[in-house]
Amino acid sequence: MKNYTFFLLFLGFISCENSNQEYITIAEDKLRNKIAGGWAGKMIGVSYGAPTEFVYNGRINEDPIDWSPETLRRSISEDDLYVQMSFMMTMDKYGIDAPVEKFGEAFANSGYMLWHANRGARMNIWNGIMPPDSGHPDYNLHSDDIDFQIEADYIGLMNPGMPQSSNKICDKIGHIMNYGDGVYGGMFVSALYAAAYFENDVKKVLFTAMKSLPIESSYHAILRDVVDGYERNPKDWKKTWKRIYDKWGETDICCALSEYNIDAKLNGAFIAIGLLYGEGDFERSMEISARCGADSDCNPSNCAGVMGIILGYDKIPSEWTKYIDEIADSLFIYTDYSFNKAVDRTLYYAKELVFKNGGKMEDDFLFIKKQEPVPAKLEVSFPNIFPKEKVTITDTNYWEWKGDWEKVSQTNQWDGEETQMQAETAGSELTLKFNGTGAVIMGRFDIDCGQVDIFIDDEFHRSRDNYYKKMNWGAGDGWLNGAHLAHIMNLEKGDHKLSIKIKNEKSEKSEGNKLKVARAIIYDEI
């Protein structure tokens, strides 16, 4: 940690030394080349790691990684790209300063599939819970998940050398679906991009980006652990990976008590490991991030995007970019954006943001008003809790059932066949009895689900609608298992009850009034 402290001081010295320079400059054609490099890196990285996404959970990928230039075509169909491009389309329609509600509504009513924090936010918005509450842990158990982290690249791409502007936009958009560490993940990625425009040393890029995060946050802490691991073992990334996983590998709240981990900070650490140990080599950086496992398409995608900006499109080795020209005008699904249009629109918004933040353009050069990173305010989603126990639906010691319930066999995409309970009659009620500080009841959203009331210790908590329309390519068939039907955290330690009762109402669109329950997780204080 000594070297880390020294480096922060060094960066501070550099900043002070150049404080008399009001602007940093970049030629417009160079800016465009770096923007193209960032988008290309994003496409290359996601296609490179997609075949192993969540295949290597809690372990390093030691197997060969197969990739060919034609593999790039799959990036056209990846949520890492089309979700954030839909945010750009909202900017195209309503302007760069569009109200957050416009971004939230476009996102929630889109035709594409969503997972985890994104899906939680969609359900919240459908239930009238608008941003920033849609991403808040009181309403979204996935608030610390990776979702915003993989969708924030465009913000950094539009903010060359402007970390304060980047953080401001991240604070707005990130709270649609995330909170705390989940928002910091997007801030971290965006800050990496913003710094990469004017710095070739990946270590300096990383340290600069870290300054945009609150030092008290867990996200900042895990990055410090990565840096410390690198300083201890600068030639052995696997030792650093092990130290990180041993300490942080079971921190995921939404997927607790499983090897599956979609926590933003753990996957963000894998981005940092790739950047540090890749030492400026595009392929090596991407490969290490992918081999760290977990979300092995998202992490190398972010990593390669940063490297793409540092290098610029023309300096990315040609074996990785040669197929992009063939698909450069192909539209990403659910968008009217192609690679070429994404580059054009990003350049347009980058110039707009430069001017908005006090910059100017002279001849073919942009003069960007200097911004020093400022840490975001501290938010903590789930303080002082840990997952204590997973409860199956058949464990009679924890459940009470009132009304018309039946057992059904349902396929869970992660665990295979499992027994679930479902009811449809108004007034049917289930109660989870637990000892701890929090709990979540999991089940299934679907097209035939209705409205429910939720109670904590016999007191009314809130109502919600569990109707979820099927999206494209089979959403609702297996992927909707694991939905968080109700959760409560930060209770006083002791005996509690979490209840769900079927109402007589349902959405006009719903095919039924069912409540589908699968399992529960109980949490306690650390």
pLDDT (mean) for 248-269? 87
* Model pLDDT for residues 385-431, shown as the tens digit of each residue: 999 999 999 999 999 999 999 999 876 655 667 789 999 999 999 99
Q: Parallel, antiparallel, or unpaired: how do β-strands 451-456 and 438-444 relate?
A: unpaired
Written as one string, the DSSP assignment of 409-432 is EEEETTTEEEEEEEE-STT-EEEE
How long is the chain? 526
pLDDT at 412: 61
CA dihedral defined by 160, 217, 298, 65, rounded to 10 degrees?
Answer: 110
Query: Would you state the structure tokens that stand for residue 526, as one six-digit string?
Result: 């650390």
Give the sign of the dihedral formed by CA 209, CA 213, CA 216, CA 217: negative
Report cis status (omega within 30 of 0) of the bond before 132: yes
Q: How confident is the model at residue 104 (pLDDT cuts 50, 70, 90)?
A: very high
> pLDDT tier at 21 (50, 70, 90 boundaries)?
confident
Q: For the whole model, what pTM was predicted?
A: 0.93
- Answer positive or negative: Cα dihedral of 88, 89, 94, 98: negative
- Whether 495 shows a pLDDT value over 60: the answer reads yes
Q: pLDDT tens digits, residue range 30-45?
A: 999 999 999 999 999 9
Q: What was the pLDDT predicted at 225?
A: 98
What domains, with CATH codes, occur in the chain? 2-17+27-369 (1.10.4080.10), 385-525 (2.60.120.260)
In this model, does residue 252 exceed pLDDT 90?
Answer: no
Apex CA 375: angle with CA 367 and CA 174, to 5°?
A: 90
Pairwise CA distance, residues 236 & 230, whole Å: 8
